[in-house]
Amino acid sequence: MIKNIKINTIKINTIKITNIKINNIRIKNHSSIKNKRKFRGGKNMLVTTKEMFEKSMKEHFAIGAFNVNNMEIIQGIVDAAAENKSPVILQASSSAIKYARINYLMKMVEAAVEEHQEVPIALHLDHGPDFETCKMCVDNGFTSVMFDGSKYDFEENIRLTKEVVDYAHAHGVVVEAELGKLAGIEDDVNVEASDAMYTDPEQAKEFVERTGCDSLAIAIGTSHGAYKFKGEAKLRFDILAKIKELIPNTPIVLHGASTVIPELVEMCNKYGADIPGAKGVPDEMLHEASKSGVSKINVDTDLRLAMTAQIRKVFAEEPSAFDPRKYLTPAREEVKNTVSHKIRDVFGSNNKI
């Protein structure tokens, strides 16, 4: 029998927490995550992926999540997003954070937000390997983190993911999780093809319900790195359709989804690289995925190729050049052109802000 009810609502950071007492038993409810998060000192605003994913699911387009390592890559990505009126996700892996150093990275992202205040920009941790890395990013102002528990068994992946979800949600940050294993090598991720596995749709539903994650990276045939397919490229759109049927309100993420643009590979090889047989996911397949329920598509390899191709070209054609601006300027422009192509021709996120 209920004798008394007490309700108290407070706000901590961007989370509204409602405490309800029924017969002296406390029930705590995180009722909402707001879309924006300020930098230290209250300057400007990054956004979470919450609103951009809601719009993408409603209007059937995907948002590019582009990996960043340095200033030129950040500038190229955000300039392209601004020019094409597209929301964008900047993401950094733990190894990229180690390379760039988190304080430098945050200041470069802050500058991008300051320069293009009209562009919704989310800052995301890509492939967070553990709770401590996710916590570090949450504490330093990231608006989204991914915990990659795909190497663990199902129950352990749920347990560890939920730990990250609980901490991140309490600080107004959204969480991406992963179920299934992608083959390939990228930064600290290394999975043999024989160990790769597709995502099970029924498990995906249970996983989302039990962890409370905000988006889910699935395995339907993509892979990390520049060598994604030995034969004909194939994605399991039937698995994607079943997952969307079971969890229609959960944004779906594709990792390992660079096209490995042939023209960029050719340019790299023309000017001294040795990248034989590199093959990615065709643009047509990624475009189909963006219309079929995928909200976030990760791109890293294509940006590496874009930057490397132009740097190699300058070194080959102007061997006397030693001013970094001489080769980093065309490299930045190639990054911008590559991102613009993805936004307009593949993901369909142009003119969405």
Domains in the chain and their CATH numbers?
Answer: 1-33 (no CATH), 34-347 (3.20.20.70)
Q: Is a pLDDT exceeding 50 seen at residue 10? A: no
Task: Choose, from 79, 126, 187, 302, the residue flagged as catalytic.
Answer: 126
Least confident piece of the model among 12-26, 99-113, 189-203, 313-327? 12-26
Would the CA dihedral through 195, 196, 198, 204 be positive or negative? Answer: positive
Compute the distance between CA of residue 168 and CA of residue 171 in angstroms, rounded to an integer. 5
Q: Is a pLDDT exceeding 50 seen at residue 308? A: yes
Instruction: Give the rounded distance of the alpha carbon of 199 from its chain centre.
Output: 18
Q: Is a pLDDT exceeding 70 seen at residue 319? A: yes
For residue 194, the model assigns a pLDDT of: 41
Count Cβ atoms within 10 A of the Cβ of residue 10 and give its class: 0-12 exposed, 13-18 middle, 19 or more buried.
exposed
pLDDT tens sequence across 269-301: 999 999 988 888 999 999 999 999 999 999 999
Q: Is a pLDDT exceeding 80 seen at residue 232? A: no
Q: Is 302 a catalytic residue?
A: no
Compute the distance between CA of residue 140 and CA of residue 280 in angstroms, rounded to an integer. 34
Q: Is a pLDDT exceeding 70 seen at residue 31? A: no
Compute the distance between CA of residue 306 and CA of residue 267 in angstroms, rounded to an integer. 9
The secondary structure of residue 346, as a DSSP letter, is I
pLDDT tens sequence across 80-110: 999 999 999 999 999 999 999 999 999 999 9
Compute the distance between CA of residue 201 and CA of residue 248 in angstroms, rounded to an integer. 12
For residue 24, the model assigns a pLDDT of: 45
**pTM for this entry:** 0.86
